[in-house]
Structure 1
Amino acid sequence: MPAIPALLRPRPLVLTLCSALLASAVAAPPALADPTPQAKSWKVSGPPGSPTAVVALDPTDGRPTLAVRRGDRTVLEPSPVGLVTERADFTKELTFTGRSDRKVAGSYTSTTGKSERRTVDMTESRFRFRTAAGARVDLVTRVARDGVAYRYVLPRDEGDVLSEASAFTLPTGTDAVIGKYRPDNELLFSRYASATQPTTGTYMMQALFNTPGGQALIAESDVNGSYSGAHLTHEEGSPTYKVALWNDEPVQVPDGSALTTPWRAVITGDLATVTESTFVDDLAPPSRVRDTSWIKPGPALWTWLAGGKEAGQSLEAQKKYVDYAAERGWPYEVVDAGWYYKPGEWDVIDPDWQTNNWMPELVRYAAAKGVKIQVWLHYTLLTDPAEREKWLSTLERWGVKGVKIDFMDSESQERMRWYDDVLEATARHHLMVNFHGSTIPKGLQRTWPQVMTFEGVGGEEKRTNTAEHLAALPFTRNVIGSMDFTPGAFHRPYRPNVNSDAGELGLTVLYESGIQNLAGTPESYDARPEARRYLEQLPARWEHTRLLTGDPGRSAVLARQAPDGRWFIGGTFAGAAQTVDVPMRLGSGRWLVETVTDGPSGLVRAPHVVRGGDTLAVPVIADGGFAAVACRWWQGRTSCDS
């Protein structure tokens, strides 16, 4: 997988209050040459520059397939589609009965993510099929500039879903960046020279393939309690990755109910297109939260890796962390496990936690210093509706602004129903959410904008992370939504870039999270004044994201634009020390770029004046990285914070 620099293209962003309310508006597309019901293959084309989806029926056994192409190049070979229910097999012996097309277009805003303003421009085609016995299924496809997606729509009374035939067959010459599957989605990503190489087993959905037709990232969107989450299965030597449902359990469909499944998606294009894509969110239902004015992203001082369990049970320790967050200008402090347990015990809830607790005092103390409090909860506290209401209403009354909910460790249909209930309740109580031990975003941040981030990643807490894993995440897990990696733990001896403080600093920008939980100790920040200075400048959200250069599993450099117009840049690299040529695709004119790199005696900040489009040479140490901030230059300007 050779290094591929990002090719940045201007993207029109037109947003008004009216257009934001029309995010799912549809209009009839120009008339398409539709084949007769006897035809065996049909193309779906999107806006200019889009890939093409090809839906087909095998003429011998009526098996449906879907392929993806870019021009004359193959992204996906004809891949199985279909599903099996209790009452019908929709994977073979199907007959095509019709097709309809429409445009899906509009715009919306996002409280988190790579950009605030989003545009949607897709072509949707609905293919209608029936079995010999008369059972019906619709295959709905969507094609956009950055992807292809499909889902199934079943009429009433087809029974539970037993399995899907859905799969992705890669062309010869494809390599892969992929990770094994576990219910918490926290295993490592690795790079393979061939997509057939990974051993037989289960893999995470966010798998990246470099095909002859371009990059292809597998994903899903619009998963809720009507379905379970999915992962991939693969047999060594095979070019096909199959979609598997949770524990192969049937998806329960209430008697007499219709069913619309989640989207199966392929984000595709060059590396920049995939990395910058919002396709997973674009496919998701619009926001269910009408008033989002209370939802405020921003950096947080997270005290777990800094202070552990003891800090979680100490009001005085938490006040000191609040003081430090206030000094840095960070808007949040996160109190982790321990605060509602009996003093000195770590698995026993204090029965008087509502009345005999120091949290209200901490919230008042923090508020006086301009800092808001978020708290950790074990998900089992929120399973019973009455208990859930007691916990969330009490936290809202105290003035807590967010909850970090942990240890779900399942993507079953039952657990997805739990997510539905908790998302509705936290929105009603104006509590922002950080899910840990969790599923991955799957479009939920568009539908429920109070969700600031998900873990679902092998993050800073892990002791087994590799430099390869760090350089894979911007192209895999973080593409599909916010990722709570919890960077900034300079004091941790287990991080793969332990010798590169500049690399650790760069992760705070390279990895997007609505709440960027900074995991270091105050002492570690004070010992690194250049890192502390940089972290004090982190904005609450991003306006735009651009890939400057990268090679999945080996290197990644991203630039993210703050609301004030400055660009923050983070880079990570696996391998030997090197000098990296970074294209400064930030816009025309002159820019002052302040780089923070590793020096013999610590972090070194250096100014550079470059023109937009120039290449900047940046030194990085082995398995290291760098951070930078860029601002408009004028004569005499020497710093981006002046």
Structure 2
Amino acid sequence: MNKKLLSLGLLFVSALTAMAQTTSVSSPDGKLQVSIDCKDGQALYTVSYDGKAMLTPSALGLKADIGDFSQGLKLKDSKQGSVDKTYTMTRTKTATSHFVANQLDVQFENADGLPLEVTFLVSNNDIAFRYTLKQAKRRDVRTAVIQGETTGFNFPETATSFICPQSKPMVGFAQTKPSYEEEYTPDAALNTPSAFGEGYTFPCLFHIGNDGWVQVSETGTNGKYVGCHLSDYEQGKGYTIAFPNPKEMKGMGGNGAAISLPGSTPWRTLTVASTLEPIVETTISYDVVEPLYEAKTDYRPGRYTWGWLIWQDNSTIYEDQVKMIDVAAQMGYEYCLVDALWDTQIGRDRVEELSKYAQSKGVRLLLWYNSNGTWNDAPQGPHDGMNSAIAREREMSWMEKIGVAGIKVDFFGSDKQPMMQLYEDILADANRHQLQVIFHGCTLPRGWERMYPNFVASEAFLASENVFFTEYHAKKEGFELTMHPFSRNAVAAADWGGVMMNHHLSRDNKSRHQRYTSDIFEMASAIVIQTSVNCVAIYPNNLEELPQFELDFLREIPTTWEESQFIDGYPTKYVVMARRTGDRWYVAGLNGTQEKKTLTLQLPMLAGKTVRYYTDKPQKKGEILPASELKTLKVNANGEAKVTIQPMGGIILAE
């Protein structure tokens, strides 16, 4: 072979090698594309939608005790496939989901010859990807500790963010943080430092200017991994996956993830679109996970009353809980939540009596528990009932015996692997005793409605109790509830904890600070914020004070949905959602601003129909809150309906 032919041959081999270091996968409709490139030992991916860059080159990789998989990588192989599945649920925004995606499995090898697989699933608006560490043929290694990820999310520099800061550990009430209860900052520059230097909690929403939107989160996390969040922004790298702060849980336990091999990380998810509709309607949190066990019973959705929200700790006494059970019965609600301190202020024997009384009224109890063993100083009891298998068996057997329907477990304050395992253990044990579970003071649920069939919802945001605590948060309620449909509630059920009908945040409904949202806003929030067991914070005085049409609506509030559609809105400003239960549609809107909004809504599902129209009258001088009214509204044949939402007000259109 002459030198010219040899040179051409080497060039051909080099070209093949270069080609082998790049691969890609597109959505079924071809609009969403992920490209993977291995350059100078670094694995990178980019994301485009409709030809526009949504994620610029971003790092892939992780570091483990068995090897470094963040550098010195070679792309060895890739394989294409597809996924097409349909499943049903009762706990989420839609009853039936059809997930169709293209799959790409990319095989990498690190500098030591150890394998790493990255799996991408790409549907028309969603991306899910995860890492799998496998056993190396030449090494008898069966376990690994993942010490961190280099996974990046590098957005175009013109993007802005709608994100919530991660708290420092061991701060806040009784050292119970982080608990995902910080404030969102809207439309912030990417390089804005996080409030506490700890990055940002999932989910994270980004506005890519005129090109669209990206939501970043994760799903499928259980006791086999840590709960992750995003780091602060770094120029040129963007945000990266961050592991829990080592100081969480008073420093107990490591902050890495111990896995057996082969073993996979949770899925990192991106919802990518030119509009907000796919962001709000996404089901990616559930599409890529599977149930981990069968439901022990047919868990019943519904509504619950909650005395603690307005009446606070002093209300956890037998007499007050009887009053709240009576309200639930009068309203046709399924449950009544008995909050903290019942073990000392009521006592177990009288809780048994209370449960019997509730059941005689067609109501079942939900009981509050402190999660704590040793990881924070939350004083409320009952303590040490959920933190070990022996304690859980004792408590849950007793609750099953006396007919309790579910538990609310509070004060977790960590995303370390032992805490993620505790969530899973509580859920699995509760299912064995036919108990539904709500978590508060807790992490974001990550696909849990599908993974754990007795999981209802989590708090994991600044919820209704803060409206009670301070006037500042009462004034921010509109801001918060017009943020969550685009972020927190878009990826998981959210226990906001109260459709609040008191005009003042006090037992006498006259003292302390006022509520700043209208009655119709509160009623509409029951439709906008999705959870299958919803709190309606209605009290005995409300039964006498509220207009009959408001009480009638509060009695009919549905909590399970066959279908949900985003109609209109902008994060922290306003939102309009449509949800269908059976063959009936409810359209609900919230205005989070001090300016009235007149909108022409596109409602093809109601075209030509005359519907009930709940709305606020313009607020008169001297009124604390505007008066509400019930009218009828004819939606025209084209499905258009013109509505006005008053400042901090709401609307409901109902068949």
Equivalent residue number for residue 267 of structure 1:
271
Relative to structure 2, which stretch is displaced further, 385-394 or 230-239? Answer: 230-239
CA contact (8 A) 2:608 2:639 kept: no
Which residue, 202, 206, 213 being the options, matches 1:205? Answer: 202
Partner Cα separation in structure 2 for residue 598 and residue 336 of structure 1: 36
Equivalent residue number for residue 196 of structure 1:
191
Which residue, 132, 140, 147 being the options, matches 1:162? Answer: 147
| Structure 1 residues 627 and 293, CA gap change in structure 2 (3 angstroms) | farther
Partner Cα separation in structure 2 for residue 329 and residue 538 of structure 1: 10
Which residue, 294, 318, 321 being the options, matches 2:321? Answer: 318
Q: Does 1:509 align with 2:501?
A: no
| Structure 1 residues 308 and 450, CA gap change in structure 2 (3 angstroms) | same
What amino acid is the match of 2:352? Answer: P
CA contact (8 A) 2:296 2:434 kept: no
Partner Cα separation in structure 2 for residue 195 and residue 265 of structure 1: 19
| Structure 1 residues 296 and 625, CA gap change in structure 2 (3 angstroms) | same
1:90 offset after TM fit, Å? 0.9
1:570 offset after TM fit, Å? 3.3
Q: Does 1:617 align with 2:617?
A: no
| Structure 1 residues 72 and 299, CA gap change in structure 2 (3 angstroms) | same
Instruction: Give a deviation string over 1:52-74, Cα, whole Å, max 9, x none.
Output: 1111111xx21011111112101
Instruction: Give a deviation string over 1:313-356, Cα, whole Å, max 9, x none.
Output: 22x2222211211111111111111211256xxxxxx6xx3xxx
Q: Does 1:479 align with 2:477?
A: no
1:210 offset after TM fit, Å? 1.4
Partner Cα separation in structure 2 for residue 500 and residue 391 of structure 1: 41
CA contact (8 A) 2:219 2:285 kept: yes
Partner Cα separation in structure 2 for residue 495 and residue 192 of structure 1: 30
Q: 1:40-79 alignment to 2 at 5 Å?
A: 40-48=21-29, 50-58=31-39, 61-79=40-58
1:399 offset after TM fit, Å? 0.5
What amino acid is the match of 1:359? Answer: V
1:590 offset after TM fit, Å? 2.2
Partner Cα separation in structure 1 for residue 71 and residue 32 of structure 2: 26
Q: Does 1:628 align with 2:628?
A: no
Q: Does 1:117 align with 2:90?
A: no
Partner Cα separation in structure 2 for residue 496 and residue 549 of structure 1: 29
CA contact (8 A) 2:612 2:630 kept: no
Equivalent residue number for residue 552 of structure 1:
571
Partner Cα separation in structure 2 for residue 410 and residue 496 of structure 1: 34
Instruction: Give a deviation string over 1:558-580, Cα, whole Å, max 9, x none.
Output: 11112242324232332323333
CA contact (8 A) 1:191 1:553 kept: yes
The structure whose residues are more often helix, as a share, is 2
Partner Cα separation in structure 2 for residue 496 and residue 54 of structure 1: 53
What amino acid is the match of 2:485? Answer: P
Q: Does 1:414 align with 2:418?
A: yes
5+ long unaligned stretches in structure 1: 1-34, 344-349, 632-642
Partner Cα separation in structure 2 for residue 132 and residue 49 of structure 1: 34
CA contact (8 A) 1:487 1:507 kept: no
What amino acid is the match of 2:59? Answer: P
What amino acid is the match of 2:190? Answer: A
| Structure 1 residues 64 and 485, CA gap change in structure 2 (3 angstroms) | same
Equivalent residue number for residue 385 of structure 1:
389
| Structure 1 residues 153 and 496, CA gap change in structure 2 (3 angstroms) | farther
Q: 1:182-261 alignment to 2 at 5 Å?
A: 182=167, 183-199=178-194, 201=197, 202-211=199-208, 212-235=210-233, 240-247=238-245, 249-253=254-258, 257-261=261-265
Equivalent residue number for residue 371 of structure 1:
363
Which residue, 545, 565, 573 being the options, matches 1:527? Answer: 545
1:132 offset after TM fit, Å? 2.4
| Structure 1 residues 369 and 162, CA gap change in structure 2 (3 angstroms) | same
1:589 offset after TM fit, Å? 3.6
Partner Cα separation in structure 2 for residue 331 and residue 49 of structure 1: 46
| Structure 1 residues 50 and 499, CA gap change in structure 2 (3 angstroms) | same
What amino acid is the match of 1:551? Answer: Y
Instruction: Give a deviation string over 1:367-394, Cα, whole Å, max 9, x none.
Output: 2222121111111321121111000111
1:294 offset after TM fit, Å? 2.0
Equivalent residue number for residue 18 of structure 1:
none
DSSP 3-state at the match of 2:613: strand
What amino acid is the match of 2:156? Answer: P
Partner Cα separation in structure 2 for residue 408 and residue 420 of structure 1: 13
Instruction: Give a deviation string over 1:504-528, Cα, whole Å, max 9, x none.
Output: 2221111111211122423235422
Relative to structure 2, which stretch is displaced further, 242-251 or 126-135? Answer: 242-251
| Structure 1 residues 187 and 280, CA gap change in structure 2 (3 angstroms) | same
Relative to structure 2, which stretch is displaced further, 372-381 or 400-409? Answer: 372-381
CA contact (8 A) 1:180 1:203 kept: yes
1:603 offset after TM fit, Å? 1.3
Partner Cα separation in structure 1 for residue 602 and residue 540 of structure 2: 34
Equivalent residue number for residue 127 of structure 1:
106
Equivalent residue number for residue 451 of structure 1:
455
Partner Cα separation in structure 2 for residue 90 and residue 217 of structure 1: 26
Partner Cα separation in structure 2 for residue 239 and residue 37 of structure 1: 24
Partner Cα separation in structure 2 for residue 36 and residue 520 of structure 1: 67
Q: Does 1:594 align with 2:579?
A: no
| Structure 1 residues 435 and 250, CA gap change in structure 2 (3 angstroms) | closer
Q: How many pairs does the alignment contain?
A: 580
1:237 offset after TM fit, Å? 6.2
What amino acid is the match of 2:338? Answer: V
Partner Cα separation in structure 2 for residue 548 and residue 66 of structure 1: 32
Q: Does 1:468 align with 2:479?
A: yes
Partner Cα separation in structure 1 for residue 449 and residue 637 of structure 2: 33
CA contact (8 A) 1:506 1:625 kept: no
1:292 offset after TM fit, Å? 6.1
CA contact (8 A) 2:615 2:650 kept: yes
DSSP 3-state at the match of 1:224: coil
CA contact (8 A) 1:171 1:239 kept: no
Partner Cα separation in structure 2 for residue 556 and residue 83 of structure 1: 38
Partner Cα separation in structure 1 for residue 427 and residue 631 of structure 2: 45
What amino acid is the match of 1:338? Answer: L
What amino acid is the match of 2:480? Answer: H
Partner Cα separation in structure 2 for residue 252 and residue 440 of structure 1: 18
Q: 1:85-124 alignment to 2 at 5 Å?
A: 85-124=64-103
Partner Cα separation in structure 2 for residue 367 and residue 603 of structure 1: 34
1:360 offset after TM fit, Å? 2.0
DSSP 3-state at the match of 2:44: strand
What amino acid is the match of 1:504? Answer: E
Relative to structure 2, which stretch is displaced further, 363-372 or 471-480? Answer: 363-372
Which residue, 611, 631, 655 being the options, matches 1:606? Answer: 631
DSSP 3-state at the match of 2:424: helix
CA contact (8 A) 1:190 1:468 kept: no
| Structure 1 residues 499 and 457, CA gap change in structure 2 (3 angstroms) | closer
CA contact (8 A) 1:503 1:626 kept: yes
CA contact (8 A) 1:62 1:92 kept: yes
Which residue, 251, 262, 282 being the options, matches 1:277? Answer: 282
Equivalent residue number for residue 3 of structure 2:
none
Partner Cα separation in structure 2 for residue 439 and residue 397 of structure 1: 30
Equivalent residue number for residue 377 of structure 2:
none
5+ long unaligned stretches in structure 2: 1-15, 136-140, 168-177, 247-253, 373-384, 506-511, 621-625
Equivalent residue number for residue 117 of structure 2:
138
